[in-house]
A and B are shown apart, each in its own frame.
Chain A
Amino acid sequence: MSSVSPSGEAVDQSIASLGDASSLLRSLFASSGDCIKILDLDGNLLFMTEGGQRLMEVADFGKIMGCPWPSFWQGKENAEATAAVAAARAGRAAQFQGFATTMAGTPKWWEVHVSPILGSDGKPEKLLSVSRDITATRAAAQAREATERRLELAMKAARLGYWSLDFATGALTASDFSKENFGRGGSAEFTNDELRAAIHPDDRARVEAAIAHTIATGEDYNIEYRIVKPDGTPGWVMIRGQLTRDDFGKPIGMSGVSLDIADLKMAGTALVESEARFEAFAQAMPNQVWSATPDGLLDWFNDKVFDYGGLDFAALAGTGWAQMVHPDDIGAASASWAKALSDAGQYQTQFRLRRADGAWRWHLARALPIKDQAGAVTRWVGTNTDIEDQKALEAQQTLLTGELEHRIKNTLAMVAAIASQTFRTAATKEDARDIFDARLNALNKAHQILTSTSWTGAPLALVVEGALASHRSGEGRIKISGPTVQLPANKALSLSLALHELATNATKYGALSVSQGTIDVAWGCSNSTGSPLLHFEWRESGGPVVLQPTRRGFGSRLIERTLSSDLGGSVAMNFDPTGLVCKFDVKLSQLEAA
């Protein structure tokens, strides 16, 4: 310290007044890192230690000596400094914290103590002001506070609770969130005993064992267990923790975090149930069921798939299923699948799948994407339905419809032909009507016979019986005999009409026109020429004398055409005076082939 400087003089005077302690004080002042000042009772600066001058960045103390010390402070701090001076003058120590710049303008935070220096009379004689630079410690404290605040926010956001347990006292400290995890309000008490009581009875032993393990090994405590909340509702918590140790490494407690995982557990349970439900449905379905990853690789099949194709999971998984598809169909199926994958839309196609025995059967394949909340595909679920029978039925249906239409058209054409033939020869309208009705009736009879055999053909005996039934009088005048011969459908219709015409003529002019006349209808088979022949004969007798007609009638013309064959001239109409005889031969093979 310089004894020539004004401050040196002042301190010398001050220290002199303090007596023998001067050397002790000097060394104290010199060693202090604080800014130590002596003020008069009005608060004017009398002295500042050299260390203090450095701290305050004072270039020339002479310029500020005698200035009022509170005026170095601004605003709130100025008021506090003034109040501190007043307090010290009144004999009380005062302190405050505040901001002020140094003489060079450096911003700093200060902790300031002002106390009275008592004179020998015990009254304040001067004032001592000690200012400590707390800028660095304040910044560290702020950083620590910020860190703690961030941690708190993070734990809040994660809904994590914090807890700690003191082994010595058994005291449990739990954050509001931690209490909430266990169904308690933030202000409620939550003791370690209450914590143990909240654990589900079935999980209690497991929890105790885990804690004991952590204490014994020092390993982390990590457990999920069920709890029962105070209102009786069940819950799930996840607890993580570590041992806390004293300076000697001895465990003194545990601390960690807690989390409510009830929703996660429920979701997990729901997922397991949902998967089980899906599998049960999929296995119960009569279709082949499969699923695929979002990129279209098949990853699950029900047993129907394995049973049908005789291939196992390894063979079918991924893109292996394609080997089941018919080579002619795989191109279209793959394109359809690729399009569905890129559109995330419905997949639908038809293809033939090879059965284990090598048979190809048509299937309808359909799949739909399962999407998450964002709309992204998470999985595909698809089915293959065997439509082979359905396809065959459809084809048959089409065939039947076509056949039915053809038959109706043909029948209408026959009706038109009958009408035309009837009206061109009938003498009167009434005749025309009666003849037309009778011919339609004959056609109808033949239809009935054919319908009863599903139009595969008709037994000759039935056709003859049907055609002549309406001409019978119940006296046994028409005799029918012959072996079983099957007529093709188209021959049956025309033959029915032809026989009807013969019978009609017999009724009008022949054997049936008188009471004694009879008709013998007989047929037989022979094989004399190498190809089997059917001989058919219509013989009338007992009627009036038969005259050769001038014009051949509809019936005989029809018979000729119905039964004409390669055997030229085999149809013979003999207008024998004793009765009409109509004979024809027809190859049996022709009957069967037609």
Chain B
Amino acid sequence: VTEKPNRPSAVLIVEDEALLRLHAADMIEEAGYVAIEAKDADEAIAILISRPDIVLLFTDINMAGSMDGLKLAHLVRDRWPPIKIIIVSGKTNLQTKDMPPGGRFFPKPFETGKMISEIRSMIES
């Protein structure tokens, strides 16, 4: 993990599968950001409200709780427009029109190396 001189940006990971959430957190930290974890959309919204340092939402689609990852992504797009959005899912038939504007979709399982560079380029842009 490389520490930057000023406080690093945070990435919010929303994933209900513990192993995958753990793996995503390692990946985000390897990319040089602070990983914040939520196991569902309700937790994610509570974190978003309290933490202004989140610059990117990294979410799964299928989750238990009041909303799925896609709805969460749309909500984030509306309420926190600057936050970048990455959606990952086992679903392969996701339509572009279902995506929030500017969001990126990656089918599971994703390639860790590629994902890290994608996250970096989205945040730095």
Contacts and interface: CB of A to CB of B under 8 A. Distances in A.
Contacts of A410: 17, 20, 90, 108
A413 B90 CA distance: 9
Nearest to B91: A406
A533 to B, nearest CB: 18
Contacts of B90: 405-410, 413
A418 interface: yes
Interface string A106-121: 0000000000000000
A420 B20 contact: no
Nearest to A415: B109
A561 B64 contact: no
B39 A558 contact: no
A418 B19 contact: yes
Given A412-B109, A494-B18, A417 B23 contact: yes
Contacts of B91: 402, 405-406, 409
A558 B62 contact: no
A205 interface: no
Contacts of A420: 23, 26, 112
Interface in B1-24: 16-23
B89 to A, nearest CB: 8
Contacts of B92: 405, 409
B22 A557 contact: yes
Given A409-B108, A412-B108, A412-B109, A421 B22 contact: yes
B85 to A, nearest CB: 19
A409 B109 contact: yes
Interface size range on A against B: 20 to 34
Nearest to B90: A409
B26 A561 contact: no
Contact of B19 (A409, A414, A424, A594): A414
A97 interface: no
B23 A421 contact: yes
Nearest to A439: B19
B74 to A, nearest CB: 20
Interface string A378-420: 0000000000000000000000001001111110111111101
A490 B16 contact: yes
A115 B37 CA distance: 148
Interface of A: 402, 405-410, 412-418, 420-421, 424, 488, 490-491, 493-494, 497-498, 554, 557-558, 561-562, 564, 593-594
20 contacts: A406-B62, A407-B90, A410-B17, A410-B20, A412-B109, A413-B90, A413-B109, A414-B20, A417-B23, A418-B19, A420-B112, A421-B23, A488-B64, A490-B17, A493-B19, A498-B18, A561-B21, A561-B39, A594-B16, A594-B64
